[in-house]
Amino acid sequence: MVRIKDVAREAGVAASTVSLVMNKKGYVSEATRAKVEAAMKKLNYVPSEVARNLSLNRTNTIGVILPSISHPFFGEVVEALEAALYEQNYKMMLCCTQHKENAERTFVEMLKRRTMDGIIMGAHSLDVSLYDNIKQPIVAFDRFLNEDIPIVHCDHQQGGRMAAEALLNQGCRHVVEIVGYQGVSTPANEYHFMAADILQTHGATVHMLEMPWNAFTYSDFMDAARELFQKYPEADGIWGADLAISACLNVAVSVGRKVPEDLKLVAYDGTAVTRMGPQPITAVRQPIEGLCRLAVQKIIHMVNEEQDDSPWVLPPAMLKGETC
């Protein structure tokens, strides 16, 4: 195996000079740089990424913490984050926290030991104290961790307004919102509160059906949909996350409700799930790819200790469907 000392001997320079050329640090004359690069090419020298990262005190790896990639929203998030990191020559290390004790704590400890350069955190953490007094780079993805950790998220208030207006425009007077577990502190709660406020201001009755913590499987949402139709058979509008509304559409058919004739459905997230059935679901689309690119941009700027004045919030869009 060719070593950096072999390249230095071939080029007639010190090993430290070869290191400066490879890492593009410090001053090296063009003539010396040309000799080093010619020696590397002649000896077919491949720099050790591990050694290079150690010299820079970097790993070029970003940890990503999410609840579950089986959920369509988080599946799209993982794909978009990995692609954005790859474009910036970073690798992604993924941690899914659902059904795993201490997985999140283990990842945070890895960050403290500098096994990774930073973390993009989007799990439904109930113990946010894990993130107190951490000096290493962390960007929250739609989660509130503490006052010192910035959050990348969709403009959920605007999303809630879009959904409420869509339901009101179709004459809905009794709306049920399927909400996530309220023990998790997330800006996403704002879309439910905004929608409920607008609907109630216009005279509609609003009920909220709360999902259990870390309930992400389709069976969880089917259970919630069945409960909803039992508790609120008179509902004329339902809105919630994509899988929740997909489950409601399924159950509505089984109980004889006609969509959209006497029941309107609006989904939030707008993943591919809303486009896949025979009846496309009307949805508020979060800009998932844009949010992921923004999160990657932010975390890399933090790793490099660079200033970044770009916004942290992106607007949603309305996807037309056949359910509202």
pLDDT digits (tens, 9 = 90+) for 271-289: 999 998 889 999 999 999 9
Cβ burial of 208 (10 Å; 0-12, 13-18, 19+) is middle
pLDDT digits (tens, 9 = 90+) for 25-82: 778 899 999 999 999 888 888 776 555 555 556 788 999 999 888 889 999 999 999 9
pLDDT above 70: residue 239: yes
Predicted local confidence at residue 317, as pLDDT: 97
Residue 28 covered by a domain: yes
Residue 275 covered by a domain: yes
Residue 174 covered by a domain: yes
Phi, psi of 130 (to 5 degrees): -55, -25
Check: CB of residue 186 under 8 Å from CB of residue 143: yes
Residue 320 covered by a domain: no
State whether 281 and 161 are in the same domain: yes
State whether 167 and 278 are in the same domain: yes
Task: Name the amino acid, one letter, at 60.
Answer: N
Q: Is 25 helix (H, G, I), strand (E, B) or coil?
A: coil
Q: What percent of the chain has pLDDT over 70?
A: 96
Residue 307 covered by a domain: yes
What's the structural domain count of the chain? 3
Check: CB of residue 268 under 8 Å from CB of residue 283: yes
State whether 88 and 209 are in the same domain: no
State whether 259 and 279 are in the same domain: yes
Measure the CA–CA gap between 145 and 200, rounded to whole angstroms.
31
State whether 196 and 106 are in the same domain: no
State whether 115 and 172 are in the same domain: no
State whether 185 and 121 are in the same domain: no
State whether 304 and 191 are in the same domain: no
Residue 140 covered by a domain: yes
DSSP string, 165-225: HHHHHTT--EEEEEE--TTS--TTHHHHHHHHHHHHHTT-EEEEEEPPTT--SHHHHHHHH
Closest of 297, 301, 259 to residue 280, by C-alpha: 259
Q: What percent of the chain has pLDDT over 90?
A: 60
Which DSSP category does 280 fall into?
P
Residue 41 covered by a domain: yes
State whether 202 and 81 are in the same domain: no
Measure the CA–CA gap between 261 and 192, rounded to whole angstroms.
24
Measure the CA–CA gap between 61 and 90, rounded to whole angstroms.
5
Residue 322 covered by a domain: no
Report the CATH number at residue 41: 1.10.260.40
Predicted local confidence at residue 56, as pLDDT: 56
pTM summary value: 0.80
Residues with Cβ within 8 Å of 319's Cβ and at least 6 positions away in sequence, in order, are 270, 274, 282, 283, 284, 285
Report the CATH number at residue 125: 3.40.50.2300
Q: Mean pLDDT for the chain?
A: 89
State whether 165 and 200 are in the same domain: yes
State whether 83 and 34 are in the same domain: no
| Last-in-domain residue among 56, 82, 97 | 56
Tell me the range of 25-29, 48-52, 201-205, 210-214 where mean pLDDT is highest: 201-205
Residues with Cβ within 8 Å of 249's Cβ and at least 6 positions away in sequence, in order, are 259, 265, 277, 279, 281, 323
State whether 150 and 114 are in the same domain: yes
Which residue segment(s) compose the domain that 12 sits in? Answer: 4-56
